[in-house]
Chains A and B, each alone.
Chain A
Amino acid sequence: MTAARESIGGRLAVHSGQSSPADTLTARSRLPASVVALLAATGVLMAAAAYTAGRVGYVGPSWADRMYWAGQLLILTPVAARLLGRRALSASETVTMIVVLTVAEYLVRVCYSPAAFTYADELMHWRTATDVMQTGKLFSPNNLLPISPYYPGLEEVTTALASITGISVYTCGLIVAGVAHLLFVCVLFMLFRHVSGSHRVAGVALLIYASESLFQSFDSMFVYQTLALPFFGLALLATYRVAAPQATGRVGPGRAGWFAVAALAALATVVTHHVTSILLVGTLEVVTLGALLTRDRRLAAWASTLALVSAAALAAWIAFAAPSTPSYLQPVVTGALDSVRALLTGGHAGASPAVSAANGPAENQALAAAAVVIMSALVPVGWWQVWRRYRRQPWVVALAIGAVTWFVVVAVRLVVANGSELAGRASTFAFLPAGFIAALAVIRLTDNTLRSPTVRADVRRRAPVVVAGAVAAALVLVLNGLVNGWPPYWERLPGPFQVAGAERSVGPEQVASADWALAVLGPGNRFATDEGDLPVLGGYGDQTMVGEDGDLYTAPAVTPVAAELVQAQSIGYVLVDRRLSEMLPASGQYFPVDLNSGTYTRPLPLADLTKFDRVPGVSRIYDSGDIVVYDLQGSAFYGP
């Protein structure tokens, strides 16, 4: 074993700026970082042009769609080629590549809805932030996402910035989400660089992490998890620092300062997002386990102490500020456990694998399958690398343990009812260790300096092919994240209104009706509505949505089932969008809870939607052409 190879597996003085063999390639690249940035910006411009084309009518399989993907390739390919290439890449260049990728993808996301929030979850948090701005108080009820006000970190930061700068909540939300997203990536880079001793490993790990399906969407949107993630990362980075050997004997705050940073970051995580807080405690426990396995008592002590602090803070927050947290999370947990239990006992898991797997065109599913195969092949190779080189490194061992979650996520996607969404949400965290471990494998497979001298010369001849293969695999991973992430394939480009869609269901008429409901009816009325109007009416309108209302729309008259539904759900108003009788639902379902999801072959009959005009006692209180609001209070739905 060479001295250089020993330096990888041994315990590293990772802050000295020393490079691992993976970082010591000599030839300079002919593609400078500034040119990569310019290419990425051009890619963003192409995506924006495609979006504009979509808005003016060129949606669907057209040149606009191809322009969007060409723009994405212009962003991704140079970055992947630089990170995976055999040319020398300094630490600052590696950081630049990661920053360019993150910022470019974030800007693509901003260009999708550059004038207002349109994604459902963003509207939920916009509602909470607006309430804080208007009332000056925390914990005001949010009828669309009741748990949101009890984790107000995102809204506090956004309203603080909006209040002291005079900038709008929307713009401040974009700034906060963008900064938080970039901060999370940078913190991860620093952590991965420290634990691997290689900026190249860290760069490749972040490239793989960028292939996580929510990286470009949910993890950078104006939602509470986006802000909680950098706090989560900062707590881990500070934990690393507080236990690092070089922290001793130096002038300055030393361990106490880093412990304070870790504690502040953990507290901020707890106040900002429930699931991230729980996973912070879990991650610190896994780090403790890694430290115990490698007999690093100092790290075990600090990590377990911080886990205890985080757990105590979370418990106190749930007990005194957010008691509804368990009931909010319980259905997801029990649903997943029930599916797994059913599967283990040989019963039905609640949904067939075909249903719960990633839906969409065949090419999308093929890409998803290829990505699963690539990651599933890389992670074991990475484990092998951990055993060979890093088994005395507590953080790497902890990451290796955490990488098991990748296979859990794959299993959840395949066997759990609605597993795609659950797996997608979980992948934000599962990809952290899995991306790092896969990066170790990628570096092992592409870096010739890590091979024995006898095979090095032979492999050198094939180096371009190896690198090209690695870049192609990375593109498959990242493109899969984009194709099967958000927005869904049926709303890849913005465009004309779609019934029961996603962001294309947020139009001026919907917003106007929601504004009217809040202004005239007041907040918190119990509304029945369809899938597309729900987030707008709940967000802009601050109304309370009832989920299971499909029978009310599809019943031809005041049937006992419809009346029972109205009474059981205490429905006060019904919003009817007449376009439900003109188009099939873009998302496959007309209603938030729709038993006929994916089976509609023709739009709903108009007569069923307009039956409210003929029901005694029902008032038709709002009409904007496509949208009509009915007041059911005191009507035949509540009895003769």
Chain B
Amino acid sequence: MGHSQADVAASALIAGLACVEAASGAPTPVMTVLGIALFAAPGYLLGQVLIGSQVSGLERVAVITGLALAVPVLGGLLLYAAGIPLHREGWVGLLAVVTLAGDVALFLRRRAGRAAPFSWQPTWRVPRWQVAAFAAAVLVASGAVGLARIGVAMQPQPGFTQLWLSPQRSHGHALSLGVSNDQGRTTSYQLVLLRDGRVSATWDFTLDAGQTWRRSVPLTGAGTVAARLYRLPDLAHPYRYVSVTGISVPGS
């Protein structure tokens, strides 16, 4: 086989490794690198089979990229039609099968002398200082995206607390009562549950930022169930308020 089929061997190896990785699991960086390679392989092979070496440079890259994008579009339909879920295993299987089929087709075409052997001979030369300038451009652009992400993290956002009281979807005779702390810091609350205006239960709790408190409240009768949330130490003014009158089933 020699070097003339090096790309066929490499792409077959990628397909095989991706299948093994999908079956056994691997660290995320390995998964990412293999995944990107597997995503690109069918496009490369289809490009070699369909247009061969008729074009070079940008046009070849463009056709290969376009075919790489078209494979999941059309292949996903086949998976769906075959009843195979479009999850990781399905996608890896699809791309591996197309890759191996492309390998076989390209191998046979080359054996028959109908396709050029693989070669890697970059013809362009870029002066070192230009390479350095391009590298600097990539660094500056990456820094720009990083700065933008820092900007999002720096953006002042007013904190808030969510309070809800809603019929549970899975249990029509119970209410879902919950509090979620998005104040950006640890906060203490007092939650008062009222049935027809009378205090039924009281909870005092402290939530870390991002933490949620939940309870299931039985729905008895057709009266009004309400909840007042106080943000401690202020017990004079309800911070949040919800109330449910009668029974209504969400999604109906």
Query: Footprint of B on A, CB under 8 Å?
Result: 15, 32-35, 37-38, 40-42, 44-45, 47-49, 51-52, 55-57, 92, 95, 103-104, 107, 110-112, 114-115, 132, 135-139, 152-153, 156-157, 159-161, 163-167, 176, 179-180, 183, 186-187, 189-190, 227, 230-231, 234, 237-238, 241, 247, 250-254, 257-258, 260-261, 264-265, 267-268, 271-272, 494, 496, 507-509, 512-513, 516, 520-522, 524-525, 572, 616-626, 631, 633-635
Contact = CB atoms under 8 A, between A and B. Distances in A.
Contacts of A524: 251
A247 B55 CA distance: 11
A625 B161 contact: yes
Contact of B140 (A38, A111, A616): A38
Interface of B: 18, 22, 28, 31-32, 34-36, 38-39, 49-55, 58-59, 61-63, 65-67, 69-70, 72-74, 76-77, 80, 85-88, 90-92, 94-95, 113-116, 124, 126, 129-134, 136-141, 143-145, 147-152, 154-158, 160-166, 169, 176, 178, 180, 182, 240-252
Contact of B134 (A34, A230, A509): A34
B242 A183 contact: no
B240 A166 contact: no
Contacts of B34: 164
Nearest to B61: A186
B89 to A, nearest CB: 9
Residue among B66, B154, B182 with the most chain A CB within 10 A? Answer: B66
B144 A622 contact: no
Contact of A111 (B76, B133, B139, B148): B148
Contacts of B133: 32, 34-35, 37-38
A580 to B, nearest CB: 16
Contacts of A264: 67, 70, 74
Chain B binding site: helix, strand, loop or mixed by DSSP? Answer: helix
Contact of A56 (B138, B145, B156, B248): B156
Given A38-B137, A56-B156, A160 B76 contact: yes
Contacts of A48: 144-145, 147-148, 151
A51 B151 CA distance: 7
A525 B169 CA distance: 12
A361 to B, nearest CB: 26
A501 B94 CA distance: 42
Contacts of B143: 45
A34 B140 CA distance: 13
Contact of B148 (A110, A238, A247, A253): A110
Contact of A624 (B62, B69, B161, B176): B161
Nearest to A55: B155
A238 B55 CA distance: 12
B169 A521 contact: yes
Chain A binding site: helix, strand, loop or mixed by DSSP? Answer: helix
Contacts of B150: 52
Given A114-B149, A631-B166, A525 B244 contact: no
Given A166-B31, A187-B66, A522-B169, A33 B130 contact: yes
Contacts of A618: 245
A514 to B, nearest CB: 12
B27 to A, nearest CB: 10
Nearest to B153: A115
A521 B166 contact: yes
Nearest to B38: A164
Given A45-B144, A156-B86, A252-B54, A522 B251 contact: yes
A512 B180 contact: yes
Contact of B95 (A44, A92, A160, A253): A160
Contact of B69 (A33, A180, A494): A180
B242 A622 contact: yes
For the complex of A and B, 6 pairs with smallest distance between CB atoms: A136-B85, A52-B151, A165-B35, A34-B133, A111-B148, A164-B35
Contacts of B148: 48, 51-52, 110-112, 114
B65 to A, nearest CB: 5
Contacts of A51: 148, 151
Contacts of A258: 50-51
A136 B86 contact: yes
A619 B244 CA distance: 4
A137 B80 contact: yes
A156 B51 contact: no
A159 B91 CA distance: 9
Given A32-B130, A618-B245, A619-B243, A234 B141 contact: no
B130 A41 contact: no
A131 to B, nearest CB: 10
Contacts of A268: 69-70, 73-74
B251 A521 contact: yes
A625 B92 contact: no
A44 B140 contact: yes
A260 B50 contact: yes
A234 B166 CA distance: 52
Contacts of A521: 166, 169, 250-251
B72 A157 contact: yes
B20 to A, nearest CB: 13
B248 A619 contact: yes
A137 B86 contact: yes
B210 to A, nearest CB: 10
B189 to A, nearest CB: 13
B69 A55 contact: no
A41 B246 CA distance: 60
Given A48-B151, A180-B69, A186-B62, A107 B248 contact: no
Nearest to B27: A166
B240 A111 contact: no
A163 B76 CA distance: 13
Nearest to A43: B144
A178 B80 CA distance: 26
A183 to B, nearest CB: 5
Given A48-B151, A138-B76, A165-B35, A623 B163 contact: yes
Contacts of A623: 162-164, 240-242
Contacts of A631: 166, 244, 248, 250
Nearest to B252: A633
B91 A163 contact: yes
Given A253-B49, A253-B51, 7 more contacts: A41-B139, A234-B62, A234-B63, A234-B66, A257-B50, A261-B63, A516-B164
